[in-house]
């Protein structure tokens, strides 16, 4: 009979050593997700499981969220000059401005989508709004150079919405995402005000060379731009000028001036269906 202790002992010791070297606190990933869920529930009653009737009740819950945030951040910041208390306080001070921007985002999505019946519907049901909200939370921690935590937040958004926005992306006001599935927005992307993008859009880098990690690798999208589905815009020097429209399936690696209309010509051929003869079956 196999001796279980001798079979696993060396491997267990290896795992123990790695845990000691890379301990980031218990349940960090789950804690980050709970932080997002609790914060969304306080900021937007649409997500809340209980009713708060007074400002004092809301305030007390914000204090509890700040307490939990400090616990999450403490092991992450122990080798930095920034303390968990200072980071949590900075985030709390930024919350009113984040909330203002999210109200503008929700209104931009609602006003630009004929299928939307209200701002409440956008907040409660639209994955694009959820992804934007979580990215705006994460961006505050990114600006403070908080290790790992901002990425945990946006990857949670990616998990639940299918939308991948790096916490480092700089996003202006009244940002609208329509549908959203498959959108990728890279770390050094800069997006202006009143920008709208559709599903499958990529704002990415021309190269994945690790040496470029701290450089401007992703495009700049100026104010009042619309980018339609599946468009791919690449490169840190690529600037989409304000008030431009980028059509679906466009591949763009160079700048375009303001008021441009960029589109991909289609070579699709349409013919009449032949009623007689062999039936064409496509197997996918």
Average pLDDT over residues 37-45: 93
pLDDT band at 21 (very low <50, low <70, confident <90, very high): low
Question: What is the predicted pLDDT for the residue at 268?
Answer: 76
pLDDT tens digit string along 204-235? 999 877 777 788 999 999 999 999 999 999 99
User: Are 191 and 170 contacting, i.e. CB atoms less than 8 angstroms apart?
Assistant: yes
Question: What is the predicted pLDDT for the residue at 1?
Answer: 44
Q: Are residues 134 and 43 in the same domain?
A: yes
Q: How many domains does the chain have?
A: 2
Q: Degrees (nearest 5) of the Cα angle 264, 234, 208? A: 140
Residue 81 has pLDDT above 70, yes or no: yes
Does residue 78 sit within a domain? yes
Q: Are residues 103 and 206 in the same domain?
A: no
Does residue 19 sit within a domain? no
Q: Are residues 53 and 136 in the same domain?
A: yes
Domain that holds residue 129: 25-162
pLDDT band at 267 (very low <50, low <70, confident <90, very high): confident
Alpha-carbon span 132 to 108, nearest angstrom: 12
Tell me, what CATH number does 209's domain have? 2.160.10.10
Average pLDDT over residues 136-150: 97
Higher pLDDT, 84 or 7: 84
Instruction: Answer left, alpha or beta for residue 34, where phi above 0 means left and psi between -120 and 50 means alpha.
Output: alpha
Q: Are residues 111 and 154 in the same domain?
A: yes
Q: What percent of the chain has pLDDT over 70?
A: 91
Helix locations, 44-118, DSSP H: 55-77, 84-112
Tell me, what CATH number does 59's domain have? 1.10.3130.10
Does residue 111 sit within a domain? yes
pLDDT tens digit string along 100-115? 999 999 999 999 999 9
pLDDT band at 22 (very low <50, low <70, confident <90, very high): low
Does residue 143 sit within a domain? yes
Taking the CA atoms of the chain, what radius of gyration do you get in angstroms?
A: 23
pLDDT tens digit string along 28-38? 999 999 999 99
Does residue 45 sit within a domain? yes
- Average pLDDT value for the chain: 91
pTM, whole model, 2 decimals? 0.88
């Amino acid at each position: 009979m196999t001796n279980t202790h001798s079979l696993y002992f060396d491997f267990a010791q290896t795992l123990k050593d790695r845990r000691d070297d890379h301990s980031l606190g218990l349940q960090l990933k789950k804690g980050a997700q709970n932080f997002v869920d609790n914060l969304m529930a306080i900021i937007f009653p649409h997500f809340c499981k209980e009713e708060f009737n007074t400002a004092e009740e809301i305030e007390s819950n914000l204090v509890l969220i700040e307490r939990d945030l400090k616990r999450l951040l403490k092991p992450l910041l122990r080798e930095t000059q920034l303390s968990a208390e200072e980071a949590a306080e900075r985030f709390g001070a930024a919350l009113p401005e984040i909330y203002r921007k999210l109200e503008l985002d929700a209104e931009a999505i609602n006003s630009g989508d004929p299928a939307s019946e209200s701002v409440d519907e956008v907040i409660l049901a639209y994955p694009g709004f959820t992804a934007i909200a979580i990215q705006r939370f994460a961006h505050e921690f990114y600006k403070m150079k908080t290790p790992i935590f901002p990425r945990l937040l946006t990857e949670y958004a990616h998990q639940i919405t299918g939308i991948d926005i790096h916490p480092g992306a700089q996003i202006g006001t009244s940002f609208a995402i329509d549908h959203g599935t498959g959108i990728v927005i890279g770390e050094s992307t800069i997006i202006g005000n009143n920008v709208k993008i559709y599903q499958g859009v990529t704002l990415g880098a021309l190269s994945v060379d690790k040496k470029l990690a701290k450089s401007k690798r992703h495009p700049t999208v100026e104010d009042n731009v619309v980018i339609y589905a599946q468009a791919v815009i690449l490169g840190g020097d690529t600037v989409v000028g304000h008030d431009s429209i980028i059509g679906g399936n466009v591949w763009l690696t160079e700048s375009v001036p303001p008021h441009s209309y960029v589109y991909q010509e289609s070579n699709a051929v349409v013919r009449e269906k032949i009623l007689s003869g062999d039936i064409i079956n496509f197997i996918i």
